[in-house]
Copies of this chain bind each other. A is one copy, B any other.
Amino acid sequence: LSRIERFAAAVSEAGMAAALIMNPPDVYYLSGTGQPCNLLVTPGGEPVLFARRYLDLARRASHVERVLPGAGFSAVAREARLGDGPLGMELDKVPAALVDRARRAFPDREIADCSGLLLAQRAVKDAGEVEAMRASVRLFDAVHAAMCEHIRPGIAEYELAAEVERALRRAGHDGVVFQRRWDAKLPMEGGIASGENLSTISRGPITVTGVGMGEAFPMGASRRRLERGDLVNIDLGLNRAGYHGDMARTYAVGELPDGIEPLAHACREIQDVAMGVIRPGVSCESVYEAAKAAAERVGVADVFQGYDDLHGPYIGHSIGLELDEPPVLGPGVAEPLREGMVLAVEPKLISPAFGAVNIEDDVVVTADGCELLGDLPRCLFAVGESGDVARIP
């Protein structure tokens, strides 16, 4: 069955009459075009792609046979032949004013959220998608090379960001990162943070966020200059051909500060435990619980995924056409893992006492476990002033 056919079956099973898809990554996933379009998927009916702009380009890129012009919902309402049940829309993503307009075009019909159905389908990647994500994860090799080349005492976080972005663009990054959450925002080089910025958790989710260039966007690289003995963290969304990787590493400027080596060991141990648990049928929650138990066992529970009252309730999440896809590997998420899911696994130890130690890697769930999508050593790197790089552990 095609992606659209499988989605139509889920729409039908959920009791919806049809789904109207507008969010660009969702439209791309189902129809094959990145042009702005509304895709009407009706169980038992032919899918219709309405090009909000650039009909010819949408037609050329999409495998959907019926492509019509139409920016508003009245064109959709004229074409739609709907049975009983609500009309699905992506209510987590489409602004309320637009959904209100759809309500007026379909006056007697309930509008229901169909994002969960589509995201559940998107969570399991096919072989081509896994290959695309492998290529995306490999973009981090360029990041790592840029970090090792430019991390020196005196360089500012934003100057490091400039080098990482340049390396990413030259390596084939799409230039933008897609996120599901409506108010999420990320520079191309993600969060670069050093020194005291490592433990200032700001604007984004509870992770190593950095503090940014100013209050208008207090996240990402700042004007802080690296000093000998600092730790530096980079955590970013990699996007190539629409598919994202999510990777993080920690670097030391010159020699490793005292007390960090055991934390690097602990971080790696937690990641090993989490990846050792991942296989089809295991619940998302139990991966988190295993990681948390490992953190307790190695004595870092108080700084695991944050500190004090800031502990991120996750050890990872699904990635794909968006960087922050469900499911989350966190407490209360009973959903079982399925073969073909691609997951970021990201233990981080954060504290004002030492900053942060963070490694994040991406795995695909296989028939009996999981497989790493990249081959960069999962360790902390100490970058000497002559450019020599030591690995810990």
Report A's interface with B, CB cutoff 8 A.
22-25, 28, 32-36, 53-54, 57, 61, 89, 91-100, 111, 113, 158-159, 161-163, 165-167, 169-170, 172-176, 178, 182-183, 185-189, 200-203, 206, 212-218, 220-221, 240-243, 321
Contact = CB atoms under 8 A, between A and B. Distances in A.
A220 to B, nearest CB: 5
Contacts of A170: 158-159, 162
Contacts of A89: 96
Given A97-B113, A183-B22, A203-B54, A214 B174 contact: yes
Contacts of A187: 174-176, 188
Contacts of A53: 203, 206
A233 to B, nearest CB: 16
Nearest to A52: B183
A341 B173 CA distance: 36
A57 B202 contact: yes
Nearest to A156: B170
Contact of A95 (B94, B172, B200, B216): B94
13 contacts: A25-B216, A34-B215, A36-B203, A91-B95, A92-B97, A94-B95, A96-B96, A96-B111, A98-B182, A161-B175, A165-B169, A175-B189, A175-B213
A379 to B, nearest CB: 27
A106 to B, nearest CB: 14
A174 B216 contact: yes
A326 to B, nearest CB: 14
A91 B57 CA distance: 30
Copies of this chain, complex-wide, total: 2
Contacts of A175: 158, 161, 187-189, 212-213, 217, 220-221
A187 B32 CA distance: 21
Contacts of A24: 183, 185
A160 to B, nearest CB: 9
A320 to B, nearest CB: 11
B169 A158 contact: yes
Contact of A96 (B94, B163, B242): B94
A106 B188 CA distance: 38
A110 to B, nearest CB: 12
A61 B217 CA distance: 12
Given A34-B217, A217-B242, A242-B216, A176 B185 contact: yes
Interface-central residue, A162, A216, A221, by most chain B CB under 10 Å: A216
Given A99-B96, A170-B162, A203-B54, A215 B182 contact: no
A206 B52 CA distance: 12
A243 B169 CA distance: 24
Contacts of A33: 215
A95 B181 CA distance: 9
Contacts of A201: 54
A391 to B, nearest CB: 28
Contacts of A23: 183
A215 B97 contact: no
Given A35-B202, A175-B212, 11 more contacts: A24-B183, A24-B185, A32-B215, A34-B214, A61-B215, A165-B166, A165-B169, A165-B188, A175-B189, A175-B220, A213-B241
A188 B98 CA distance: 27
